[in-house]
Amino acid sequence: MHKAKKQSFFNDVYEVVKCIPAGRVSTYGAIAHYLGLRSGARMVGWALNHAVALPEVPAHRVVNCHGMLTGKRHFGSPDRMAELLRQEGIQVENDCVQDFKNIFWDPAKELNI
């Protein structure tokens, strides 16, 4: 594997995440699947770990397949992620996105690039 490929993977993840509209959320698995990885969900999370420093990448809009805020502990403050989501009109209760199925944003369906 070459660095260029990894870099491309990072960039692809960022591009997809940047396309997530405010008020909607996506999942690691959906993004990984969209990028062609079989089970690269963990890699997406790993890539987003480097994206917290990038203000243009709304990493807080990415949750796990159950709509839970598993990445909240990487946002500096434990409740930072939930607050960011609430500011966008998303209801968060007990680290879990409410009405997740309804606000779920699937790049494979709603994005065509």
Partner DNA sequence: TTCCTGACTTCGC
Partner DNA sequence: AGCGAAGCCAGGA
Q: Which residues pair with 25 in a beta bridge?
A: 104
In the complex, what is the shortest distance from the CB of residue 103 to DNA, in angstroms, rounded to a whole number? 15
Q: Write out the two tokens for 4.
A: 């260029």
Strand 26-27 with 62-63, pairing: parallel
- 38 makes contact with DNA (CB under 7 A): yes
CB under 8 Å to 39, separation ≥6 — which residues? 32
In the complex, what is the shortest distance from the CB of residue 89 to DNA, in angstroms, rounded to a whole number? 19
- 28 makes contact with DNA (CB under 7 A): yes
User: With contacts defined by CB under 7 A, how many residues of the chain interact with DNA?
Assistant: 32
Piece of 70-78, 82-90, 94-102, 104-112 that binds DNA (CB under 7 A): 70-78
